[in-house]
Amino acid sequence: MAEKILVVDDDVDTLRLVGLMLQRQGYQVSAASNGSQGLAKAFEERPDLILLDVMMPDMDGFEVTRRLRKNPATSSIPILMFTAKNQLDDKVTGFEVGADDYLTKPTHPTELQSHVKALLARSSAAAKKPEDIKTALTEKHGYVIGALSVRGGLGVSTVAMNLAAALYTRTQEGVILAELTPGQGMIGMDLGLPSQRGLSDILRGTVVEVTREKVESSLAAHGSGIKILAASDNPRDVDLSSRVENYEALVARLASLARFIILDLGSGLSSTVQKTLALCNERIVVMEGLQNSIHHTRLLLEELSSLKIDMQTVTVLLNNRQRTEAQIPWAQVQEKLGHSITTTLTPMPELLLQAQRLHTPAVVAQPANMNSQQFLKMADAILEREKAK
């Protein structure tokens, strides 16, 4: 099969002439007229070689190269830069950002041919593609569970973290915990992970940049056995929560990387959360036994129903976070809510403090604890539903 070469240049004449030269040599040619289009085609088509102009109006060749090298999916594709300038500084900058070779325009067909052949000979990209295709065809789709609440501070992150740990405890198989609340990250700090930028980078880029390889490289391994995509704690990153298409692509990629994927969706029903919930196999709504929480959670459940979500896939978890007489008993909460409550957690400040000090989920810190046992029972029930599915 002919090797594919992507030519990126804003000059139409260059695109036509270079494309014609390469086609005469038997190569398959793809063309892009600006940097953004070139990036999109590179991520989608995975060419064997990229010919890239430096001087382009929207995004110069240096920035295109930086982004290509940053993404694991395109980091190994050879890049041949060419420009009308014959300046040493341009060449040095090109090599510094990751270009493999350099030509000045106009270039002679023989010179172009020799450079292209040399780069393709040194590259292993073509040899790896059959394996990439084979992997894509055999990818499994994991079981996705989204956790949310009507407002912040009700313990969604705690529930997501411990449910993930419980599922790994029961299965010893792949479990991913993804905290999809940019700018409000807590899980990374609780589990002692270094500062996390993976989620923000994924959301900030274009949707075609959300590749399986990039998502996988953004996951952090934890001693509990689970892999984690933690949100950043930079308040400015909260704006990224509106990147709906990136969220959808991210969840699809995560689902191909593990048997179980637990999504911490935070609070509320933004358009992004609505789209993400539609991709889940199950949904967990976290609430507490107070009058206001019951009222707002009932409204949330009504909205979920209006979104055509199967309410049999919605589990309500009653998280009594504080020891107070204001907490309404479980049976009354269920009656007022109009929806069954399958799991109730009792106040556990000491357990959570110990787990935080150990940088591990409570299920791992004290597996025999009553609340830890509740998470393990939830995991058992999910395993049964997954098996039935």
Domain harbouring 320, CATH code: 3.40.50.300
Residues of the chain with pLDDT under 70: 1, 84-90, 124-140
Same domain, 239 and 333: yes
Last residue of a domain, one of 102, 118, 136: 136
Degrees, nearest 5: CA angle 208-209-212: 100
Q: What does the block give as tokens for 193?
A: 């992970």
- Distance (Å, rounded) from C-alpha 145 to C-alpha 334? 22
Same domain, 214 and 125: no
Place of tokens 């609440």: 149
Q: For the chain, what percentages of helix, strand and coil (3-state, to nearest 5) are there?
A: 50, 15, 35
Same domain, 155 and 187: yes
Q: What does the block give as tokens for 57?
A: 């109006």
Nearest to 27 by CA among 42, 47, 43, 9: 47
Same domain, 129 and 180: no
- Distance (Å, rounded) from C-alpha 15 to C-alpha 8? 8
Q: Cis link prior to 194 (omega < 30° from 0)?
A: no
Spatial strand order in the sheet of 282-287: 220-221, 227-229, 175-179, 260-267, 143-149, 282-287, 314-319, 341-345
Same domain, 163 and 267: yes
Same domain, 242 and 353: yes
Nearest to 230 by CA among 172, 157, 159: 157
Place of tokens 């298409």: 245
- Distance (Å, rounded) from C-alpha 81 to C-alpha 266? 44
Q: Are 50 and 77 in contact (CB under 8 A)?
A: yes
Same domain, 129 and 148: no
Structural domain total, the chain: 2
**Rg of the chain taking only CA atoms, in angstroms:** 25
Same domain, 130 and 111: yes
Last residue of a domain, one of 136, 163, 190: 136
Total residues belonging to the chain: 389
Which domain CATH number covers 71?
Answer: 3.40.50.2300
Same domain, 38 and 114: yes
- Distance (Å, rounded) from C-alpha 237 to C-alpha 226? 25
Domain that holds residue 58: 4-136
At residue 351, the pLDDT reads 93
Same domain, 271 and 291: yes
Same domain, 310 and 268: yes
Element housing 5 (H / E): strand 4-8
Last residue of a domain, one of 136, 160, 188: 136
List, in sequence order, the alpha helices (H) in the chain: 12-24, 35-45, 61-70, 88-97, 109-122, 125-137, 156-171, 187-190, 198-204, 212-217, 244-255, 271-277, 291-306, 330-337, 349-358, 362-365, 370-388
pLDDT, tens digit, for every residue of 297-315?
999 999 999 999 999 999 9
Same domain, 92 and 217: no
